[in-house]
Amino acid sequence: MNSLPGIMKRNNGFTFMVNNRPFILLAAETHNSAGTSREYMVSVWKKLEELNCNTVLVPIPWESIEPREDYFDFALVEELINGARKHNKKLVFLWFGTWKNGHSTYVPSWIKTDLTRFPRTENEYGIRSRTLSMFGSGILETELKSFRKLIQYIKKTDEGQQTVIALQIENEVGILDAARDFSAAAAEAFEKNVPVELLEHFRKTENDFFIQMIKRSEHTSDQSWQGMFGEVAGEVFMCWHYARYLNELAAVAKESYALPVFTNVWLNETDDEKPGFYPCGGPIPEMIDVWKRGAPCLDFIAPDIYTFEFDKFAGLYTRDDNPLFIAETRRDKWAAANLYTAIGKYNALCYSPFGAESVGENKSFITQKMHTDSADKNVSSELVKEYLSQSYKLLGNMMPIISEYYGTDKMTGFSQDESRMSKQIKLGKYQISIEFYHRIDDENEFIPAAGIIMERDENELIFAGYGYRAYLNTVNPGKQLDFLSLEKGFFDEEANWVNYMDLNGDEQHIQMEEKVTILKAVFYEF
Ligand code: DGJ
């Protein structure tokens, strides 16, 4: 029998394993309500098929599986598993439990209406929110019981086929519109001393910010959250408690059916955003170390990258203790381009545009929102769909090859940013100058160019992607480079190279097409 899906340390990075083989989740996340309608899902499966994705991320709302306390109905879960099997997709379930985007909107009504057993967070003026508090509450115990039932159901139904390959716990946790939970029970916890294990952990990390904070507080006997962490005390406090809470859920999942488990993050996109504007207590980049200590049972923390600084945030979540797994990202003209950076440069385990069934449509049927950014006024949604689906097909066929390069320095990826027409890249002995064909602005209709380059051996490079030219030099002093051969072709579904054309003489240039292309070049030095 195959081992369970899992994350393996390989080379200097991580690989997601499914059926004992490396697997890259070229994924799609549905709109939040999608899975609750069997009829709607019929059209979703068809659209996702057209996207060539191999995995679907789809929510399981708590209220749908436990409408009355201790009465469980897993029809929705069963339906999704059957649908995925029929369409040959893997599934990642998103457990919309106690928290979803900072609120508690997906808990069953018997929880919503019982404010004594399940109290709410309060802001500094004592006003209650729509968010459940974890302090002085019966919620953890209740959620653990329900979550365990769900995992047991997945194990019973799916262990043989392993359609479900990972679980997200909660969704973008944190508290909105307040700097922390100010309810009486939370305030009491806030007065306590910072746990020693957290301080010990900070001493061992290379997190300068926290090391300085601890050093500063060594001159005082005040070990409280406020005393130790001053103006970030509320946020560190919330992070620690959310992390401990989610760790309990992750531990239950591991002990019942050990699939990879993770949580996702609503990022603080600019430096001046205050906690509460984004959900305070979530694992934003500055707080990852708090979460790593608080929730060791989570396999990784997954950013939702909607910002235009895709490369920066992808880099911040690619760490020795955290593989990059992009749970959500834009579904506009950047969707295809950023994929190449995610896979080629950061070796992402997963890439997943949100509301992906609406790719190719101008407006989502569910949210009524345009799928594009306003700056995309000239980029049609059909074009986005074409590039994303072709890219998923191309990278999907190359998966066995690409995954060999995960965690090595023999592959890179890039996408064109808004303002530049060129990029310099170093790969092995090659200095590569990339030139893009088109300027990206709101006046034109181009999808940003993107590519992946792999050094198969010292003389052979593979170029994948679209919309660029590449000029290469060797860094070896006194040497020049020239082609021995250049082939245009593709990888078939068994990852075998199929040569379509020998490009020779006059046409021997790394000149990608406007649509996704693969070139295989062999060089020599003289
Ligand atoms: C981020 C959330 O995590 C998703 O569930 C979804 O609501 C999107 N935002 C909508 O843009």
Nearest CA residue ID for atom 10, ligand 1: 354
Looking at residue 364, what is its pLDDT? 84
Q: Judge if the beta carbon of residue 171 lies within 6 A of ligand 1.
A: yes
Q: Judge if the beta carbon of residue 304 lies within 6 A of ligand 1.
A: yes
Q: For residue 165, give the nearest of 61, 31, 258, 277 by alpha carbon.
A: 258
Helix 233-256 vs helix 184-191: angle between axes, to the nearest 10 degrees? 100
Looking at residue 442, what is its pLDDT? 64
Looking at residue 312, what is its pLDDT? 97
Q: Judge if the beta carbon of residue 32 lies within 6 A of ligand 1.
A: yes
Which H, E and C letters describe 369-417, residue by residue? Answer: CECCCHHHCCCCHHHHHHHHHHHHHHHHHCHHHHHHHCCCCCEEEEECC
The mean pLDDT of the chain is 95
Q: At 188, give phi and psi (nearest 5°).
A: -65, -45
Ligand 1 centroid distance, CA of 95 (Å)? 13
Nearest CA residue ID for atom 11, ligand 1: 354
- Quick check: 167 and 256 in contact, CB under 8 A? no
SS3 279: coil
Looking at residue 148, what is its pLDDT? 98
Q: Judge if the beta carbon of residue 299 lies within 6 A of ligand 1.
A: no
Atom of ligand 1 nearest to the CA of 171: 3
pLDDT digits over 447-493, tens only? 999 999 999 999 999 999 999 999 999 999 999 999 999 999 999 99
Looking at residue 375, what is its pLDDT? 58
Q: Return all residues near 82 (Cβ < 8 A) that are at least 6 apart.
A: none
Q: Strand 25-29 relative to strand 350-353: parallel, antiparallel, unpaired?
A: parallel
- Quick one: which H or E segment has residue 185? helix 184-191
**If pLDDT is split at 50, 70 and 90, which confidence band does 16 have?**
very high
**If pLDDT is split at 50, 70 and 90, which confidence band does 437 have?**
very high
Ligand 1 centroid distance, CA of 171 (Å)? 9
**If pLDDT is split at 50, 70 and 90, which confidence band does 80 have?**
very high
Q: At 400, give phi and psi (nearest 5°).
A: -60, -30
With the most atoms of ligand 1 within 8 angstroms of its CB, the residue from 29, 60, 171, 357 to mutate is 171
Which runs of E-coded beta strand occur in 492-516?
497-502, 510-511
Which H, E and C letters describe 340-375, residue by residue? Answer: HHHHHHCCCCEEEEECHHHCCCCECCCCCCECCCHH
Q: Judge if the beta carbon of residue 183 lies within 6 A of ligand 1.
A: no
- Is 36's pLDDT higher than 90? yes
Tell me the whole-structure pTM to 2 decimals. 0.96
Q: Return all residues near 237 (Cβ < 8 A) that are at least 6 apart.
A: 180, 189, 190, 225, 229
- Is 32's pLDDT higher than 80? yes
The average pLDDT across 191-214 equals 90
Q: Judge if the beta carbon of residue 168 lies within 6 A of ligand 1.
A: no
- b (16+ CB within 10 A) / e for 137-174: bebeebbbebbbbbbebbbebbeeebbbbbbbbbbbbb
Nearest CA residue ID for atom 5, ligand 1: 32
Nearest CA residue ID for atom 8, ligand 1: 354
Ligand 1 centroid distance, CA of 69 (Å)? 27
Q: Judge if the beta carbon of residue 354 lies within 6 A of ligand 1.
A: yes
Looking at residue 175, what is its pLDDT? 96
Q: Judge if the beta carbon of residue 352 lies within 6 A of ligand 1.
A: no
Q: Judge if the beta carbon of residue 181 lies within 6 A of ligand 1.
A: no
With the most atoms of ligand 1 within 8 angstroms of its CB, the residue from 94, 172, 301, 352 to mutate is 172
Ligand 1 centroid distance, CA of 304 (Å)? 9
pLDDT digits over 369-416, tens only? 876 665 566 677 889 999 999 999 999 999 999 999 999 999 999 999
Please provide the DSSP assignment of 305-327 as one string: E-SS-HHHHHHHT-BTTB--EEE
The average pLDDT across 195-200 equals 93
- Quick check: 426 and 418 in contact, CB under 8 A? no
pLDDT digits over 340-357, tens only? 999 999 999 999 999 999
pLDDT digits over 238-292, tens only? 999 999 999 999 999 999 999 999 999 999 988 889 999 999 999 999 999 999 9
Looking at residue 164, what is its pLDDT? 98
Please provide the DSSP assignment of 223-277 as one string: -BHHHHHGGGHHHHHHHHHHHHHHHHHHHHHHHHS---EEEEEE---STTPPBTT
- Is 179's pLDDT higher than 80? yes
Ligand 1 centroid distance, CA of 53 (Å)? 19
Q: At 271, give phi and psi (nearest 5°).
A: -65, -25
Ligand 1 centroid distance, CA of 30 (Å)? 10
Q: Judge if the beta carbon of residue 332 lies within 6 A of ligand 1.
A: no
pLDDT digits over 496-526, tens only? 999 999 999 999 999 999 999 999 999 999 9
Share of the chain above pLDDT 70, in %: 98
Atom of ligand 1 nearest to the CA of 94: 5
Which runs of E-coded beta strand occur in 128-218?
128-132, 164-171
Q: Give the DSSP letter of residue 145.
A: H
Nearest CA residue ID for atom 7, ligand 1: 32
Q: Judge if the beta carbon of residue 172 lies within 6 A of ligand 1.
A: yes
Q: How many residues does the chain have?
A: 526
Ligand 1 centroid distance, CA of 287 (Å)? 21
Looking at residue 273, what is its pLDDT? 92
- Is 441's pLDDT higher than 90? no
Ligand 1 centroid distance, CA of 84 (Å)? 22
Ligand 1 centroid distance, CA of 106 (Å)? 13
Within 13 Å, how many C-alpha atoms sit on residue 97's CB side? 26
Ligand 1 centroid distance, CA of 309 (Å)? 18
